Amino acid sequence: MVEGTVDVAVIGAGLVGSAVALGLARLGQRVVLLDEGDDRWHASGGNFGLVWVQGKGAKSGAYAAWTRASAEAWPAFAAELEDAVGLDPAYAKTGGLSLCLDETELEARATLIKRMHNQPAPGANDAEMLDAIELHRLVPGLGPRVVGASFCPHDGHADPLRTLRALQAAFVQAGGSIRRGVRIESIDAAGGGFRLAGQVSVIEAGRVVLAAGLGNRHLAPMVGLAAPVRPQRGQILVTHRVPELCPYACHRFRQTADGTVMLGDTHEEVGLDTGTTQRAAHDLAAYAAACFPALGNARVIRQWAALRVLSPDGLPIYAQSTTHPGAFVVTCHSGVTLAAIHAGELAGAIAAGNLPPAVASFAPGRFSEAA
């Protein structure tokens, strides 16, 4: 039995699917957002919350430009979400620091920032290096081991859980519907559109957007696409509330508006394992205390792990199927940063039926060409 017919079915109600679905619904499309509802290892519930520009796209000017454009769109995007549904994503454009603890790290960072200055992409050029004297003047609470940093004025942070709630509330307000507990197991071309089936439900849709994170690997081949994504575990610690330590978001340190400090995050190739380890807790705490000695006495109140959704080159995958026109795949490992552009330009392009030239280099064909 067919349960419903819509213009677009978006599979995956994480940050990526929810942002795209919101953008589509605001354009007047009838959209259903489908999610299996198993949140054991999903990235959207366990990430760090940075809206981060610096260092992104060192090898891809297109990615640097796309990231910067999303960061530029974030202030209006956050304000609009709050106006629409009364949920504040707690976005702050603080500027961001990537701290260096020794000369080798500082030199490597300076080389990266210099390489990005040579890129044509706007914004790739705005990060600058700060030496120890400038940096310690800017952030007096830093420890003596911090020898410098890169700084980018476009970086900031948001509360990822509030952002997700706001995206979904705004989506429903715009006329979209969310179906949880629906795991899509097959997608077939039917009647000029698609027939999506799970264990107990069948949905017909004119278009389908695969935004299922790690689940895209399995779903993409059903519509002639590829999403060779893999999980990468990231562990995060959270401290109790402490007085303000640093007004800037940092690459591995983020103080929330209520004073808790998030310390992150590991990069571990352990498959679908979301366990936490004492080793990671020790390393993250030791790093944080080296950067901010005041944190040496802070109490850790939480530790968790979540899985990044990583493509082989770390860049997003955006494509429309050539064998199944109307089927799109959307996946990335910076779903907070890119939420604004996913809900805006990307959703508009999907509604129009053509992805923009700006994302042409993110098609999965690049992986088979590389092979």
Ligand X SMILES: Cc1cc2nc3c(=O)[nH]c(=O)nc-3n(C[C@H](O)[C@H](O)[C@H](O)COP(=O)(O)OP(=O)(O)OC[C@H]3O[C@@H](n4cnc5c(N)ncnc54)[C@H](O)[C@@H]3O)c2cc1C
Q: Which is nearer to ligand X, 42 or 109 (CB)?
A: 42
Containing H/E element for 31? strand 31-35
Which residues lie near ligand X (CB under 6 A)? 11-17, 34-36, 38, 42-44, 46-50, 52, 183-184, 211-215, 219, 234, 236, 265, 306-309, 331-337
Q: Which is nearer to ligand X, 174 or 339 (CB)?
A: 339
Q: Show Cβ contacts of residue 264 under 8 Å, excluding neighbours closer than 6 positions.
A: 48, 234, 235, 236, 237, 252, 253, 254, 284
Q: Which is nearer to ligand X, 32 or 43 (CB)?
A: 43
Residue 134 Cβ vs ligand X, minimum distance, rounded to whole Å = 25
Q: Which is nearer to ligand X, 147 or 329 (CB)?
A: 329
Residue 254 Cβ vs ligand X, minimum distance, rounded to whole Å = 8
Q: Which is nearer to ligand X, 149 or 212 (CB)?
A: 212
Residue 49 Cβ vs ligand X, minimum distance, rounded to whole Å = 5
Residue 14 backbone class (left: φ over 0; alpha: ψ -120 to 50; beta: rest): beta
Residue 168 Cβ vs ligand X, minimum distance, rounded to whole Å = 11
Q: In degrees rounded to 5, what are phi and psi of residue 46? A: -135, 25
Q: Terminus-to-terminus CA distance in the chain, angstroms?
A: 43
Residue 248 Cβ vs ligand X, minimum distance, rounded to whole Å = 14
Residue 160 Cβ vs ligand X, minimum distance, rounded to whole Å = 7
Q: DSSP characters for 311-329? A: -TTSS-EEEE-SSSTTEEE
Q: Which is nearer to ligand X, 119 or 163 (CB)?
A: 163
Residue 308 Cβ vs ligand X, minimum distance, rounded to whole Å = 4
Residue 346 backbone class (left: φ over 0; alpha: ψ -120 to 50; beta: rest): alpha
Residue in this structure with the two tokens 């107990």, named with its chain if needed: 200
Residue 316 Cβ vs ligand X, minimum distance, rounded to whole Å = 9
Containing H/E element for 11? strand 4-11
Q: DSSP characters for 87-112? A: -----B---EEEEESSHHHHHHHHHH
57 and 97 in contact (C-beta within 8 Å)?
no
Measured CA to CA in angstroms, residue 159 lies from 44, 73, 155 at distances of 11, 16, 14
Helix spans in 175-215 (H):
none
Q: Which is nearer to ligand X, 249 or 363 (CB)?
A: 249
Any idea what the Cα angle at residue 41 is, between residues 64 and 223, rounded to 5°? 65
Q: Which is nearer to ligand X, 147 or 311 (CB)?
A: 311
